[in-house]
């Protein structure tokens, strides 16, 4: 269909001449917003991660997609970006949707937005359901500060290194994971973050079989492993929410001096030990050395 040129009359679509990131339901079709329905009906182009799922969603929510539907997924998003943005540049409306949730959050969308910014084109969003925020809200863990980490690496070694790097993260962390890897991932989290770290495993959010398991990572790892062994497993889309690292009380100079003297008594050199302990504790090497020397 021919897109209107900038400055010409449009059909009244407020997003004309825009790239629109539109959130789709993460499970329950009733969460589709009136704006999403209108956009699907009126947009010039709808770029979908999976065109079949888009048409299935449209049928469930009672909308006839009015414009051209094109596929837009991980392996073609860079190549297709300018094709979509040429429509926007001509005054048309391009809506980007993924299979569930907000585009660009662990889904296609980021590259076309970045390219739109480079070209000086308007980008807006039709906000809606988010698995990240839903899982965070239902976890029972602190929500004032959090970080989204996406999917952890698949290979065990890379996964362990990635999680170890997050062990001291003070904010609540949200992860995505696949059903066939969830048992290994939660076990690895218990190892990296500690078995007592509070967490929640949420699956099938907003769907009929929604379930949120809460507890220390060690207990969750045992629960998930037992269900996997029984053949039940955890099915569906899964989010893991992990509490941030607890604040560590800084050791006093007196405590550090005691540690230094204990190691000296075991045969280490005072100067070497003072430097090592000072570096770890983040205190002055000279002050610690002098205090330990005076205490001997």
- Residues of the chain under the 50 pLDDT cut: 1-10
Instruction: Map out the domains of the chain as residue ranges.
Output: 18-129, 132-242, 253-295
CA–chain centroid gap for 31, Å, is 21
Residues in the chain: 296
> Which residue reads 């910014």 in tokens?
117
Give the per-residue pLDDT at 18: 96
Q: How close are the terminal C-alpha atoms of the chain, in Å?
A: 87
| pLDDT tens per residue across span 215-257 | 999 999 999 999 988 877 889 999 999 999 998 777 888 889 9
Residues facing 71 on adjacent strands: 48
Contact 114, 86 (CB under 8 A): no
What fold is seen in the domain 18-129? Cobalt-precorrin-4 Transmethylase; domain 1 (3.40.1010)
What fold is seen in the domain 132-242? 3.30.950
Give the per-residue pLDDT at 12: 64
**Structure-block tokens of residue 67:** 């414009």
Query: 10 Å Cβ neighbour count for 276?
Result: 15
**pTM recorded for the entire structure:** 0.78
Give the per-residue pLDDT at 249: 74
Give the per-residue pLDDT at 111: 94
Q: Which of 123, 42, 128, 39 is nearest to 84 (CA)?
A: 123
């Amino acid at each position: 269909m021919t897109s209107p040129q900038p400055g010409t009359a449009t059909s009244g679509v407020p997003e004309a001449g825009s790239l629109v990131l539109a959130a789709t339901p993460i499970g329950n079709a009733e969460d589709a917003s009136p704006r999403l329905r209108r956009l699907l009906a009126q947009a010039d182009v709808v770029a979908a991660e999976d065109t079949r799922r888009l048409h299935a969603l449209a049928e469930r929510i009672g909308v006839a997609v009015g414009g051209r539907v094109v596929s837009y997924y991980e392996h073609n998003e860079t190549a297709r970006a300018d094709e979509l943005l040429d429509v926007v540049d001509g005054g048309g409306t391009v809506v980007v949707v993924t299979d569930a949730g907000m585009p660009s959050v662990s889904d296609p969308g980021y590259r076309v937005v970045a390219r739109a910014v480079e070209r000086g084109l308007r980008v807006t969003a039709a906000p809606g359901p988010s698995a990240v925020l839903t899982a965070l809200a239902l976890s029972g863990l602190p929500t004032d500060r959090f970080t989204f980490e996406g999917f952890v690496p698949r290979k065990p070694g890379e996964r362990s290194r990635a999680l170890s790097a997050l062990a001291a993260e003070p904010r609540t962390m949200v992860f995505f994971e696949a059903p066939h890897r969830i048992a290994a991932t939660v076990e690895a989290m218990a190892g990296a973050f500690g078995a007592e770290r509070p967490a929640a495993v949420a699956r099938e959010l907003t769907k009929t079989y929604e379930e949120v398991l809460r507890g220390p990572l060690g207990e969750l790892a045992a629960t998930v492993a037992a269900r996997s062994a029984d053949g039940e497993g955890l099915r569906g889309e899964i989010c893991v929410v992990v509490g941030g690292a607890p604040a560590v009380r800084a050791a006093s100079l007196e405590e550090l001096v005691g540690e230094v003297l204990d190691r000296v008594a075991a045969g280490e050199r005072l100067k070497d030990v003072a430097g090592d302990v000072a570096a770890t504790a983040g205190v002055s090497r000279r002050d610690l050395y002098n205090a330990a020397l005076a205490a001997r």
